[in-house]
């Protein structure tokens, strides 16, 4: 049965995306060992489902609609930098949510149980942290140097965006990187 790599996400809006791209460009000379996320792929992941069988995709979309379709639109503010899994072993460089993290986490938590019940999701062991992935660290980094760069840019802000929809997305892996497509848009009606 064909499977589609699927995840549920929030768009960042064009203004935030443009500021992130400008920031990535500024950081490139300072962090040459980072594979930067392409502008069209910047988003906040709510849940990564992995390979979902085609026949279950409609059920996933309906589940998202039923679970969060009545939610009220809310604002997010993207800024602050961090890395996963931790600063001593950085693998992913990210921007956090300074505003809206509670709302995003609540939506994540609301979606978990119904998606677990569908059998289309496995709960992650680590605590959910709403973020936008800026890049993946591809070579060994001097952790002290990285910590200094993160501290230097601690006040950086990408801006605000009003979240009005939740997206069900697919990801097609290609030799040049992932290509994301919107499978379904769930409008927040509140």
To the nearest 10 degrees (0 to 180), the angle between helices 54-68 and 101-118 is: 140
d(Cα 78, Cα 95) in Å, to the nearest integer? Answer: 6
Residue pair 166/8 in contact by the 8 Å Cβ criterion: yes
Q: What share of the chain is helix, strand, coil (3-state, %, to 5)?
A: 30, 45, 25
- Residues with catalytic annotation? 43, 131
d(Cα 114, Cα 64) in Å, to the nearest integer? Answer: 9
d(Cα 13, Cα 160) in Å, to the nearest integer? Answer: 9
Q: Which residues contact 140 (CB under 8 A, 6 or more apart)?
A: 33
**DSSP H or E stretch at residue 35:** strand 34-36
Q: Phi first, then psi: give them for residue 57, nearest 5 degrees.
A: -65, -40
């Amino acid at each position: 049965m064909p499977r589609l790599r699927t995840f549920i996400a929030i768009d960042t809006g064009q203004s935030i995306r443009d500021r992130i791209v400008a920031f990535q460009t500024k950081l490139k000379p300072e962090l040459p060992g980072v594979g930067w996320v392409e502008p069209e792929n910047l988003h906040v992941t709510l849940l990564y489902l992995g390979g979902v069988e085609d026949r279950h995709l409609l059920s996933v979309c309906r589940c998202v609609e039923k679970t969060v379709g009545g939610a009220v639109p809310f604002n997010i503010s993207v800024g602050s930098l961090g890395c996963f899994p931790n600063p001593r072993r950085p693998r992913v460089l990210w921007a956090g949510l300074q505003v809206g993290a509670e709302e995003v986490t609540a939506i994540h938590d609301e979606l978990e149980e119904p998606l677990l019940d569908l059998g289309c999701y496995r709960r992650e062991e680590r605590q959910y942290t709403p973020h936008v992935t800026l890049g993946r660290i591809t070579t060994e980094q001097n952790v002290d140097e990285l910590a200094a760069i993160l501290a230097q840019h601690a006040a950086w802000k990408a801006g605000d965006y009003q979240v009005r929809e939740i997206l069900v997305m697919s990801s097609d892996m290609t030799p040049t990187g992932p290509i994301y497509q919107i499978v379904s848009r769930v409008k927040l009606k509140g």
